[in-house]
Amino acid sequence: MEAPSEPESSGPGGTGPAVVSFQPSEHQHVRYNPLRDDWVLVSAHRMRRPWQGQVEKPPQEDVPRCDLSNPLCPGAARANGEVNPQYTSTFVFDNDFPALQPDAPEPDACSHPLFRAASARGVCKVMCFHPRSDLTLPLMSLAEIRAVIDKWAELAVELGASYPWVQIFENKGAMMGCSNPHPHCQVWASNFLPNEARLEDRTQQQHLQERGVPMLLEYARLEAQRKERLVVENADWLVVVPYWAVWPFQTLLLPRRHVCRLQELSDGERDSLASIMKRLLTKYDNLFEISFPYSMGWHGAPTGPHLGADCGHWQLHAHYYPPLLRSATVRKFMVGYEMLAQAQRDLTPEQAAERLRTLPEEHYRARPRQAA
């Protein structure tokens, strides 16, 4: 296949190839993700294409404050027949349909390397953030968000005493597979390091060996200086759309000091974390004036048998992966090229950060309603 011919110059003399300066918002390029050791294709010019694909149903806005048919509400009966207490803050219980159980038997041994299996044991918990179903984190008070953070840290200590990995994650919205509108997250602890944890452990360790500083600590300092991908910041934390972001409005929440695990945060850092979470999630909701869907989760140094090891290459961080692209009803799909080749995004991280950064920090639902 022949390479495309160079356009003729429109400059002085009118001869020779045109000199075209690279513009990230106009010209496709690939960016390296050092945390995952892979690349993402950035094709910002594709945002100009008309959309004729699937249109999603907007998230439900009229969620009742309490509905006893909702199994996460105080006083409601769950699938196993247990009745929830009349809780007034956070509430944690064992998942009624866990993906991991503590007493699973060992799989049979196989002599062929193409058919390997290993044990998978653990526990799965559900954590309700608040007794009210009509609230989400950005609509909760700072004290209520702080209670969520404290419970996260408590679970990380409790489960991390014996399990190597404790994954705290929230799927918000039906678009992200959440089957219940009540504000909640899940906590899975496993006797193995999952793929993402093993990958981040390797890349952060390699970076520390090569550069003498934890990867995400160095990255946070650089982003704080450059500011072009910065969304919100305070004295202890910053949120950026990472240089290597895959999802349209993906963000990375980073502490400014070196801290390996959630439970190591000071009281002041927990307060400022509550504040920056509320600011970020309010901006998310304000982007399309909906309850913004996302999947998020915390990553920190492994626990269990790793508690006594040197995990200084790790830096605590949280990933936010929202699917929406153009509007409240048009999402990004990870199909085709993304599944078979590599990740691709349709607007630059800098463009996404600017849109989020300039949004107000007062929630759209708190504004006075205009008369019809």
Among 31, 25, 22, 29, residue whose Cα is nearest residue 45: 25
pTM attached to this predicted model: 0.91
Q: Is the dihedral of CA 303, 306, 310, 312 positive or negative?
A: negative
b (16+ CB within 10 A) / e for 163-186? bbbbbbebbbbebbebeebbbbbb
Nearest 10 degrees: Cα torsion 103, 260, 200, 170: 60
Q: Is 294 annotated as a binding residue?
A: no
Among 184, 162, 161, 157, residue whose Cα is nearest residue 261: 157
Q: Which two tokens stand for residue 211?
A: 């550069």
Q: Is 228 annotated as a binding residue?
A: no
Are the C-beta atoms of 34 and 46 separated by less than 8 Å?
Answer: no
Q: Is 339 annotated as a binding residue?
A: no
Are the C-beta atoms of 155 and 125 separated by less than 8 Å?
Answer: yes
Q: Which two tokens stand for residue 127?
A: 């954590």
87 three-state secondary structure: coil
When computed from its CA atoms, the radius of gyration of the chain, rounded to whole angstroms, is 23
Residue 241 DSSP class: -
* Strand 294-299 relative to strand 165-172, pairing: antiparallel
What's the distance, CA 162 to chain centroid?
25
End-to-end alpha carbon distance in the chain: 61
Q: What are the catalytic residues?
A: 184
Q: Is 95 annotated as a binding residue?
A: yes
* Strand 237-240 relative to strand 294-299, pairing: unpaired
Q: How far apart are CA 327 and CA 190, in angstroms?
A: 37
Are the C-beta atoms of 15 and 8 separated by less than 8 Å?
Answer: yes
Q: Is 317 annotated as a binding residue?
A: yes
| Burial of 109 (C-beta count, 10 Å sphere; 0-12/13-18/19+) | exposed
Task: Please report where in the chains the tokens 């209520």 appear, as a residue.
Answer: 144
Q: How far apart are CA 193 and CA 195, in angstroms?
A: 7
Q: How far apart are CA 324 and CA 276, in angstroms?
A: 21
Number of Cβ within 10 Å of residue 62's Cβ equals: 5
| pLDDT digits (tens), the chain, 372 positions | 444 444 444 444 555 567 788 888 778 999 999 999 999 999 987 655 554 455 555 666 778 888 898 999 999 999 999 999 999 999 999 999 999 999 989 999 888 999 999 999 999 999 999 999 999 999 999 999 999 999 999 999 999 999 999 999 999 886 777 778 899 999 999 999 999 999 999 999 999 999 999 999 999 999 999 999 999 999 999 999 999 999 999 999 999 999 999 999 999 999 999 999 999 999 999 999 999 899 999 999 999 999 999 999 999 999 999 988 877 777 787 889 999 999 999 899 999 999 999 999 999 998 877 654
Residue 219 DSSP class: H
* Strand 91-94 relative to strand 29-33, pairing: unpaired
Q: What is the pLDDT of residue 8?
A: 43
Q: Is 186 annotated as a binding residue?
A: yes
